[in-house]
Every structure is written in C-alpha cells, then in structure tokens.
C-alpha cells in the first residue's frame, strides 16, 4: 500500500495540477503544481470552493452540466479556461472523477487533474496563423508555385506528380487544373530528369535546380527545390516582360550608339571630306586667275582636269550626303517598278567611262536584256553606280570591272566583279555598316567617305534584297546584290 506522504510526494511531482475536494466541492488538497500554476498556496485554498478559479469564460450552463455529470458518479473531461491569483488566464485539459465510499454507495469527494494546454493552444493558434499566411501567400503569389511528388524509377527521379498549384501557375501555363497531372505533361520541355541533371546547383547545402526556358511563347524562369519527404516545390516566374524590356533597352542603346557614330561621321565629313576638295579647288582657281598668261596650255589643262576630278568627287559626296540624310529622316521609300538591269549598268558605265578610261580599266556589261528586277529604279542605279565606282577606284590600271547576273528562284543576283586590290577578310565583315567601314583611298589616291556601301545596303534591304561581298586581297572583289525578279 502507498503511504499517505508518499502519495502526496507523487502528486506534488506530477506535471499536472491536482486538487481534491469533498463531496460539496470544498477543496481539501492541492499539489505543488497547483500552487505554481495558480499562485495560491495550499493553506489559502484549503476550505475554499474551485469557483475561486473561475475566469468568467464559461457559461453557467457549462458548470451546471459538469456538476450534474460528476454528482451522478460519472467522470467529466473537457477544456477549461481558469484564472490565476494574479488574474492570468490558463487553458487546461481537465479530468474530474468522483471518489466513492468504501462500499461505493456514496460520493465522498472529487479528484481533479488538469494539464496546462495554454502553450499547446498558443502553438496551435500560431500554426493556424502560419497555415493561413501560407495559404494567402500561395494563392496570391505573383510567382507560379507547384507542389510536387517525386516519381522515381530505380531510385532516380524521372518525373513528378503535381499535388497543388496556385492561381499564377494556372495563368502562366494557361490551364485550369493540374491535380494529379504529371509535370512533364504541363511543361514544354518534357525531359525533367535531363533538366535537373543539367541545372543542378547547391545552395546552403541543399540541391537546387534553376533554369530558363521558352514555353507557350513566354520566357519562364524555373527554380526547383526539395521540401523533404519526396516532395518538391517548383517556382515559375514569367520573365517575358523583363526580357522584352531588356531587349528594348539594348535596341535603344544600339540606336543611341548609331546616332553617336552618325554625329561623329558628319563632323568628320565636314572637317575633312568637304574641306579638302574645296581647298584644292580654291588653290587651283587662284593659280589659274593669277597666272593664266604665264601657264602653258598643258599646265592649264592639267589644272582644269584636277578641278574637274575634285569637283566630281565632291559632287558624289554631296549626293551621298543628301541620300544619307533622306534615309536618316525616313524619307527614302522605294517605288517598285520593272528595272531593266542591262540599261541601268549601261547608264552607270556611261557616267564612269571617263574615269575608267583614265585608269585604262575596261567596263564590261554582260547582262542580258531579259534580266528585269522588281525594285526602285533610282535606288538600283545608286547601288550599281557605287559598286562600279568602287570597282574602278580600287583597281589598278589595266584591270576590268565586269557586271553580270545569275537567276535563282524568283531572284536575280547582280554581280559587280573587279580585278582590283581586294579587301582584307577582317574588313569585309563590317563593310556595309557605318561603324565597321573605314574609307581608304583608291589606287589613284581617289578619296571617299565610307558612306556608299552602307547606303547601298540600306537601299537593297528596302527593296527586299540582300548584299554580300567575296574578296581576296590582291586578286579582286565581287559584290553581289540579290533582288526579286520582276514577274508582272
Ligand atoms: P568609299 O568608297 O567612299 O570609301 P564605300 O562605302 O563605298 O565608301 O566603301 C568603303 C570602303 O570599302 C572603301 O573605302 C574601301 O576601303 C572598301 N571597298 C569598297 N569597295 C571596294 C572594292 N571594290 N575593292 C576594294 N575595296 C573596296
């Protein structure tokens, strides 16, 4: 048998609050835990009723039912909210059992055991708050979230089942339901295992998989990480607007750079290319006016020829500048007509024959009457003139510039081939742009601006064509312009 003091010791060491009352509810014993929880000492509560602990939280009916149960000889258990001596509220799981006389005929008292559940309740409440918070974040997240279950084969993850997906994921993947779908059926790239292998990183000791991919016309950013117990979380962000913005920024940066180059080019043309021919013209003109009588007719002829050459170059430069300013202002719009290429080349040759003859360069027109392109006539003339002019400029005396065509699938290739000095491979790349095109002097020191090929490319493209160059230094160059063949 347990002795009385042993029982008191055992009850004192119990984690639960224990108190014993007489049949009318008068407290006869409370354990140490009671003293600790409620702040009353034993002597204070002995002889009092448990009602001293009432918090006012429960209704009268609650206490009536409790009392009816235990006074009928039954045990009662339930959650109870009480108040300590200092007024603090405690939540307790309470068990009350009646104590019977030896012959079980009457109730001699009651024994109540209570366990403080305030902490547990608080934790539960916190957990509920967190769950609600998670739900709110999950559903309102601007990022698509998918909760996944691993599907393994021979220990390796091969795919996932979608357990949950939020609203944003529905918007991104443009589908209403994900539940029990395989991730591979949702994604555009079906090779999930391959993606994971390729994009594995370790962050804070955990495996994380991050990659970008195109799906349904959008650029998506993915981040996959473990949640423990064969579960993973996949975050999906639609970065298309960001990518678009970046490409717009890049475009406007390139445009600004181009404008800056344009500005530099204009200043360099004004400072150099326009100034020096005028200096030459003014110099020769004053020589002519001052010494007309003392100069021999050969000298006079030479001076007049120089003035004519320089004026010719300056006129071409002004023409190029005018065309360029039109193209910069968006005023160049092609009017496609039937263009007889043989006629155009003949017209250009006529214009450049004198220059070619001076260098003893043959101009050969191998184009047939049947070669008719669909393009703007003035633009084609501008392009061909530039190419033939360059051919003459960069070919040494005795050489030739030949124009011929090839037809292919509704297109005509116009080739302008010279036997000149050729172009270094490094220079060929940027030859049709303003930035990559450095003008060099011709074989007879002819000056240039570096505008001709850039403008020619712009015009070719406006006429739905292409321009390209093949060249070997020392052997010559061949420029090809591809234009649509006229079918009307
Ligand atoms: P420009 O002839 O006024 O300098 P272009 O844009 O027509 O301007 O040509 C740019 C440069 O490309 C030339 O200065 C020259 O260095 C090179 N180039 C063009 N055509 C030829 C060619 N047929 N042979 C050799 N170099 C050429």
Reported confidence tier of residue 233, pLDDT bands at 50, 70, 90? very high
Q: Determine the distance separating the centroid of ligand 1 and the alpha carbon of 392, expressed in angstroms.
A: 10
Give the integer Cα–Cα distance in Å for 310 and 273.
Answer: 11
DSSP structural state of residue 486: P
Out of 126-130, 148-152, 330-334, 336-340, pick the least confident.
330-334
Would the CA dihedral through 371, 376, 377, 378 be positive or negative?
Answer: negative
- Give nearest CA residue, ligand 1 atom 26: 423
Quickly state the pLDDT bin for 5 (edges 50, 70, 90).
confident
Ligand 1: nearest atom to the Cα of 453: 6
> What digits encode the pLDDT tens for the residues 74-87?
999 999 999 999 99
168 vs 174: CA distance, rounded Å = 9
Distance CA 83, CA 94 (A): 14
Cβ of 452 closer than 6 Å to ligand 1, yes or no, is yes
d(CA 185, CA 434): 49
| Binding site membership of 386 for ligand 1 (Cβ less than 6 Å) | yes
Q: Is the dihedral of CA 36, 39, 45, 46 positive or negative?
A: positive
Mutating to test ligand 1, I would choose from 448, 470, 478 the residue with most ligand atoms within 8 A of its C-beta, which is: 448
The pLDDT, as a whole number, for residue 476 is 96
Encode pLDDT of 435-449 as tens digits.
666 778 888 877 777
**Average pLDDT, integer, range 382-402:** 96
Ligand 1 nearest atom to the CA of residue 416, by list position: 23
Q: How far is the CA of 439 from the centre of ligand 1 (A)?
A: 6
Least confident of 57-66, 193-202, 309-318, 391-400: 309-318
Indicate whether this model's pTM tops 0.85.
no
Q: What order of strands is seen across the sheet that includes strand 411-418?
A: 362-365, 400-408, 411-418, 476-484, 466-472
**Residue 431 near ligand 1, beta carbon < 6 Å:** yes
CA of 435 to the centre of ligand 1 (A): 14
Residue of 392, 379, 380 whose CA lies nearest to 342? 380
Atom 19, ligand 1: which residue's CA is nearest? Answer: 390
50 C-beta closer than 6 A to ligand 1: no
Confirm or reject: Cβ of 448 under 6 Å from ligand 1.
yes
Q: Give dist(CA 180, CA 126) in Å, integer.
A: 31
Beta strand pairing call for 400-408 and 17-22: unpaired
Cα–Cα nearest to 367, from 404, 316, 323: 404
Q: What is the pLDDT of residues 305-316, one digit of tens each?
A: 888 888 888 888
Tokens for 173, please give them: 């993947």
d(CA 454, ligand 1 centre) in Å: 10
Q: Is 420 in the pocket of ligand 1 (CB under 6 A)?
A: yes
Q: Whose CA is nearest to atom 7 of ligand 1?
A: 452
Q: Quote the radius of gyration of the chain (alpha carbons, Å).
A: 48
DSSP for 267-299 reads HHIIIIITHHHHHHHHHHHHHHHHHTTTS-HHH
Q: Which of 224-238, 285-299, 371-385 has the lowest mean pLDDT?
A: 285-299
CA of 467 to the centre of ligand 1 (A): 14
Arithmetic mean of pLDDT, 393-403: 96
Q: Is 456 in the pocket of ligand 1 (CB under 6 A)?
A: no
Nearest to 333 by CA among 373, 378, 372: 378
Residue 418 CB less than 6 A away from ligand 1: yes
- Rounded mean pLDDT of 192-206? 88
- 301 C-alpha to ligand 1 centroid (Å): 29
- CB-hemisphere CA count at 13 Å for 288? 16
Backbone angles phi, psi at 437, to 5 degrees: -110, 105
**For residues 440-469, average pLDDT:** 88
pLDDT at position 116: 83
390 CA to middle of ligand 1, Å? 6
* Arithmetic mean of pLDDT, 40-46: 93
Whether 269 has a pLDDT exceeding 80, the answer reads no
Over range 298-303, report the average pLDDT: 85
Does residue 24 surpass a pLDDT of 70?
A: yes
Q: From the CA of 391, give the closest atom in ligand 1.
A: 23
Alpha carbon distance 479, 468 (integer Å): 6
Inform me whether the pLDDT recorded for 482 exceeds 90. yes
Average confidence (pLDDT) over 448-466 = 90
Nearest to 341 by CA among 412, 391, 392, 417: 412
* Cα-to-centroid distance, 432 and ligand 1 (Å): 10
- What is the per-residue pLDDT for 437? 62
> What pLDDT does 212 receive?
92
Which residue, judged by its Cα, is nearest atom 14 of ligand 1?
A: 439
Residue 385 and residue 348: Cα distance in Å, rounded? 6
Model confidence at 150, in pLDDT bands (50, 70, 90)? very high
Average pLDDT over residues 100-107: 90
| Protein residue with its CA nearest to atom 8 in ligand 1 | 450
Report pLDDT for 488.
60
DSSP 398-432: T-EEEEEEEEETTEEEEEEEE-S----HHHHHTTT
Return the best residue to mutate from 314, 434, 440 for the ligand 1 pocket (most ligand atoms within 8 A of CB).
440
451 CA to centre of ligand 1 in angstroms: 9
Residue 228 has pLDDT above 90, yes or no: no
Look at ligand 1, atom 13, and give the residue with the nearest C-alpha: 439
- Is residue 265 over pLDDT 80? no
Ligand 1 atom with the smallest distance to the CA of 455 is 6
Residue with tokens 């117990």: 229
Looking at residues 129-149, what average pLDDT do you find? 93
Question: Does 336 sit in the ligand 1 pocket, CB within 6 Å?
Answer: no
Pocket test for ligand 1, best of 359, 439, 441, 454 (most atoms within 8 A of CB): 439
pLDDT at 457: 94
Using pLDDT thresholds of 50, 70 and 90, give the confidence band for residue 323.
Answer: confident
How much of the chain exceeds pLDDT 70, in percent?
99
Residue 271 has pLDDT above 80, yes or no: no
Nearest by Cα to 183 from 164, 206, 155, 202: 164
How many whole angstroms from 236 Cα to the centroid of ligand 1?
52
Question: What pLDDT, on a 0 to 100 scale, did the predictor assign at position 225?
Answer: 94
pLDDT above 90 for 295 = no
From 394, 415, 474, give the residue whose CB has the most ligand 1 atoms within 8 Å, as the site to mutate: 394
């Amino acid at each position: 048998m347990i002795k009385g003091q042993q029982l008191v010791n055992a009850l004192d060491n119990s984690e639960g609050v224990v108190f014993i009352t007489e049949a009318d509810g008068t407290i006869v014993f409370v354990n140490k835990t009671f003293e600790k929880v409620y702040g009353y000492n034993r002597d204070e509560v002995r002889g009092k009723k448990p009602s001293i602990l009432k918090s006012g939280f429960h209704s009268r009916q609650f206490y009536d039912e409790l009392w009816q149960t235990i006074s009928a000889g039954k045990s009662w258990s339930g959650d109870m909210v009480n108040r300590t001596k200092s007024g603090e509220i405690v939540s307790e799981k309470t068990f009350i059992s009646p104590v019977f006389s030896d012959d079980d005929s009457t109730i001699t008292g009651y024994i109540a055991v209570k366990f403080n559940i305030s902490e547990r309740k608080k934790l539960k409440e916190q957990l509920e708050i967190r769950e609600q918070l998670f739900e709110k974040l999950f559903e309102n997240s601007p990022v698509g979230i998918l909760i996944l279950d691993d599907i393994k084969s021979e220990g390796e993850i091969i795919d996932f089942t979608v357990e949950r997906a939020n609203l944003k994921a529905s918007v991104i993947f443009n589908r209403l339901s994900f539940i029990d779908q395989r991730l591979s059926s949702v994604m555009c790239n079906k090779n999930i295992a391959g993606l994971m292998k390729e994009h594995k990183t370790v962050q804070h000791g955990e495996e994380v998989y991050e990659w970008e991919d195109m799906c349904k016309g959008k650029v998506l950013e993915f981040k996959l990480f473990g949640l423990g117990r064969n579960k993973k979380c996949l975050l999906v962000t639609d970065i298309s607007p960001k990518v678009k913005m970046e490409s717009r920024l890049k475009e406007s940066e390139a445009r600004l750079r181009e404008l800056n180059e344009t500005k530099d080019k204009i200043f360099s043309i004004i400072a150099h290319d326009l100034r020096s021919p005028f200096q030459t013209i003014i110099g020769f003109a004053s020589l002519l006016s001052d010494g007309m009588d003392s100069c021999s007719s050969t000298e006079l002829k030479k001076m007049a020829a120089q003035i004519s050459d320089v004026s010719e170059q300056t006129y071409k430069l002004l023409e190029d500048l005018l065309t360029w300013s039109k193209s910069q202002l968006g005023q160049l719009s092609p009017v496609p007509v039937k263009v007889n290429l043989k006629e155009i080349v003949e017209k250009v040759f006529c214009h450049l024959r004198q220059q070619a003859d001076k260098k003893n360069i043959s101009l050969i027109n191998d184009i047939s009457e049947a070669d008719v392109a669909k393009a703007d006539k003035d633009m084609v003339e501008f392009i061909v003139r530039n190419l033939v002019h360059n051919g003459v400029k960069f070919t040494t005396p005795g050489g030739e510039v030949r124009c011929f065509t090839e037809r292919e699938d509704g297109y005509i290739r116009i080739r302008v081939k010279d036997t000149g000095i050729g172009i270094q491979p490094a220079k060929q790349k940027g030859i049709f742009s303003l930035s990559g095109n450095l003008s060099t002097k011709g074989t007879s020191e002819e000056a240039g601006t570096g505008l001709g090929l850039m403008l020619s490319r712009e015009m070719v493209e406006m006429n739905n064509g292409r321009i390209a160059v093949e060249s070997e230094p020392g052997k010559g160059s061949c420029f090809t312009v591809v234009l649509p063949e006229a079918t009307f």
